[in-house]
Amino acid sequence: MKEKKMALTIKDITLIGMMVALIEVCKVALAWAPNIEMTSFLLIMFTLFFGRKIVFVVPVFVLIEGAMYGVGDWWIMYLYTWPILVCLTWLFRKQDSVWFWCTVSSLFGFSFGFLCSFTYAAIGAINGGIRNGLVVGFAKWVSGIPFDILHGLGNFVIMMILYHPVRIILKEAGKRYD
């Protein structure tokens, strides 16, 4: 039996670069707005329309973020939060309801601080034991809830407004790409 390899063509590498560039441009453009971002939206849409190529987009995006802004606790969080969103999207990729994706995107935004609290808990545990880690993780999560609310609401609104027009564009792009 032949093993199917996921070989990248020049076309694939170009597409991956364009996806990462679009995420970065949108991230910088919205940097002024607290927890309002297009990264969640774009990762969901790219996963839905370009499938497994997203496996290369996320690590490149995270590496570029680390190179541009330095590696800190937030960077460690990016190593697992964005792959979680991509995996969830992949699991439900057959869904095409705007309401479904608004819900997924907003729930991801609402839970982002909770997901990040694991890193803070680990850092706290290293510095002062498990109990300290749990306290630090919980305190960081609770203190960030207002930002998580903004994040979730922003994700919902962005998905609601952009899902259909971007879906049409990506369907056409997908036809031309293949």
Confidence of residue 6 (pLDDT cuts 50, 70, 90): low
Contacts of 124 (CB under 8 A, 6+ apart): 132, 133, 134, 135, 136, 137
Write out pLDDT tens, residues 58-115: 999 999 999 999 999 899 999 999 999 999 999 999 999 999 999 999 999 999 999 9
Query: CA dist 77 to 119, 132, 154, 175, Å?
Result: 6, 19, 20, 35
CATH of domain 10-177: 1.10.1760
Write out pLDDT tens, residues 11-52: 999 999 999 999 999 999 999 998 899 999 999 999 999 988
State the pLDDT at residue 175: 78
Q: Residue 3 pLDDT more than 70?
A: no
Which DSSP state fits 3? P
Asked if 73 and 50 count as a contact pair (C-beta separation under 8 A), the reply is: no
83 C-beta neighbours (distance < 10 Å), count: 16
State the pLDDT at residue 163: 97
State the pLDDT at residue 4: 56
Q: Residue 140 pLDDT more than 50?
A: yes
Mean pLDDT of 114-127: 91
Give the chain's end-to-end CA distance (angstroms, integer).
26
Q: Where are the alpha helices (DSSP H) in 30-144?
A: 39-50, 54-69, 73-91, 98-143
Give the chain's mean pLDDT: 92
Asked if 49 and 171 count as a contact pair (C-beta separation under 8 A), the reply is: yes
Please tell me the distance from the alpha carbon of residue 90 to that of residue 54, in angstroms, as a whole number.
Answer: 10
Ordered by start, the domain boundaries in the chain are: 10-177
State the pLDDT at residue 1: 45
Mean pLDDT of 55-60: 96
The alpha carbon of residue 38 and the mean position of all alpha carbons in its chain are separated, in whole angstroms, by 9
